[in-house]
Amino acid sequence: MASVTKDDIPSVAGFMPEFWGLIKKYYITEDDQRYWDALLDDSTELNEKPGDEKERRLCRVLLLAYQNFLKEETNGI
């Protein structure tokens, strides 16, 4: 099985610590539109990081999965 290093996928390597920060910031869900708006703004900003299309796609999928997880926690707004 092949593996890569952070040098092979630098955008993903840079994304992961910021994604972890996003997880911690929004993990305690709130049933409030401001919460969801802020999550969407922060997710959009994080997704606009440079990288090739495959790296951006992976980051987008991770962000969407986290947003869906949070929606399930509160039944979404």
The per-residue pLDDT for range 15-57, each reduced to its tens digit, is 999 999 999 999 999 988 999 999 999 999 998 877 889 999 9
For residue 5, is it within any domain? Answer: no
Q: What is the pTM of this model?
A: 0.87
Q: Is the pLDDT of residue 73 over 70?
A: yes
For residue 15, is it within any domain? Answer: yes
- Per the structure, the count of domains in the chain is 1
Instruction: Identify the pLDDT of residue 76.
Output: 55
For residue 25, is it within any domain? Answer: yes
- The range of the structural domain enclosing residue 27 comes to 10-74
For residue 62, is it within any domain? Answer: yes
Neighbours of 20 (CB within 10 A): 10
Asked if residue 67 lies in contact with residue 38, where contact means CB atoms within 8 angstroms, the answer is no
Instruction: Identify the pLDDT of residue 44.
Output: 93
